[in-house]
Structure 1
Amino acid sequence: MVRCLRLQGYENFLKYVDDLETAESVYILYTGTKLPDTGKSWCPDCVEADPFIEQGFEAAPEETQLIIVEVGDRSFWKDRNCPFRTNPITRLKVLPTLIKWNTEKRLEGDQLLKPELIDMLITEDD
């Protein structure tokens, strides 16, 4: 079973990855923060991609870790100076984005609506 962790915001993300030393496969999903009244992200693309991402990780190897990072509210994300956009490690352009940590491998936006791409990202060796 995939180990899943949820993080809120940029500071919590930085704090977690600072101490991240692991031999297992680590994937980070950047998504819009969930709204308290609906339990769904404010980002409609993230909501649309969720079932495809969940399905992709069902078949992932047991030692896989998925870190879900909620980037903040819509206005924070839309700011051109949003640290998730400007940080050279994350370089986010669009939500949702799924990356394999410590690699250049990533899927962005509507690529996450394609199960075969998600499967390829998760199962392909580095």
Structure 2
Amino acid sequence: MVKKIEVEGYNALIECLKENNTGTVFVHFSGSLDENGVNWCPDCVKADPVIARNVDKAPEDSIFIHCHVGPKAYWKDQNNDFRQDPKFYLRCVPTLLRIGSPQRLQEDQCCSDDLVQMMLEETEENVTPRY
């Protein structure tokens, strides 16, 4: 069964990755929820349910982390931690990536069941290592 974890913010993600650093790890980056419980990112509102319904296509022993990147003002700051960290190189949300691999889906790609499934089902043998 895929281990599913939800975190809020950069520091929480880093701690989560330290605790869950074996096997295949996917991270889904999305906008945070506002005071009304609504995601500030309209693209994330479309993509989040697509990704959520396909998570179980990932390998049984994998880890799936849904990371909320914070308020819109923080995300828009080009110097925020998510954009500066070379492990992520985030440029947009939503983004789905496999840690330690160049594999990623961004923006509208995250709204495609087929693309999300292909990424989650890809076996380690077929993943090109990051140089």
TM-score normalized by structure 2?
Answer: 0.87
Write the mapping of 1:74-93 to structure 2, written as runs, cut at 5 A.
74-93=72-91
Aligned residue for 1:123?
Answer: 121
Within a 5 Å distance, the mapping from 1:95-106 to structure 2 comes to 95-106=93-104
Q: 1:19, CA displacement in angstroms?
A: 3.8
CA-based RMSD: 1.4
- Aligned mates of 2:112, 2:96 — CA distance in 1: 12
Which structure 2 residues correspond to residues 56-71 of structure 1 after superposition, within 5 A? 56-71=54-69
Query: What is the count of residue pairs matched by the alignment?
Result: 124
- Alpha-carbon contact 2:20-2:63 (below 8 Å) kept: no
1:111 to 106, 109, 112: 109
Unpaired runs of at least 5, structure 2: none
* 12-21 vs 84-93, which moves further: 12-21
| Helix, strand or coil at the partner of 1:76 | helix
Q: What is the TM-score of this pair, normalised by structure 1?
A: 0.90
Unaligned stretches of 5+ in structure 1?
A: none
Whole-angstrom CA distance in 1 between matches of 2:19 and 2:34: 29
Give the C-alpha shift of residue 55 in structure 1: 2.0
1:52 corresponding residue in structure 2: 50
**Which ranges of 4 or more aligned residues in structure 1 deviate by more than 4 Å?**
none
User: 1:32 maps to what in 2?
Assistant: 31
